[in-house]
Amino acid sequence: QKEVEQNSGPLSVPEGAIASLNCTYSDRGSQSFFWYRQYSGKSPELIMFIYSNGDKEDGRFTAQLNKASQYVSLLIRDSQPSDSATYLCAVILSGSARQLTFGSGTQLTVLP
């Protein structure tokens, strides 16, 4: 079992719709969770982080964390073509040097 798992996609949504990206993790002791956006040929860009159970909203982005289910998700409301990118879920595993362990990423395409 991979430590961080994401559906690789690709995921396509129409412009204006809600895009839902999901991530599960195996380490129950994990406390810190991140979503990075990566455009083709570019480096990962931090867009959300969440440390507590529940929802965290920032503009059109909402991160949701459920530690009991070991599940973290990212919702993008009013999706725009400029949101088309690969979204990487990253987790800091317990007992680590606080390095990020990444999922394989979900490729999102927002269709105009």
Partner 1 sequence: GAGVSQSPSNKVTEKGKDVELRCDPISGHTALYWYRQSLGQGLEFLIYFQGNSAPDKSGLPSDRFSAERTGGSVSTLTIQRTQQEDSAVYLCASRSSAGTSGSYEQYFGPGTRLTVT
Residues that bind partner 1 (CB under 8 A): 32, 34, 36, 42-46, 49, 51, 88, 92, 97-105
Give CA separation, 2 vs 23, 60, 80, 110, in Å.
11, 29, 31, 28
- Residue 111 beta carbon to partner 1: minimum distance, rounded to whole angstroms: 26
Q: Report, in Å, the least distance between residue 19 CB and partner 1.
A: 21
For residue 73, what is the DSSP state? E
The answer to whether 86 and 8 have CB atoms below 8 angstroms apart is: no
Shortest reach from residue 57's CB to partner 1, in Å: 17
Residue 81 — φ and ψ, nearest 5°? -55, -30
Nearer to partner 1 by Cβ, of 51 and 55: the residue is: 51
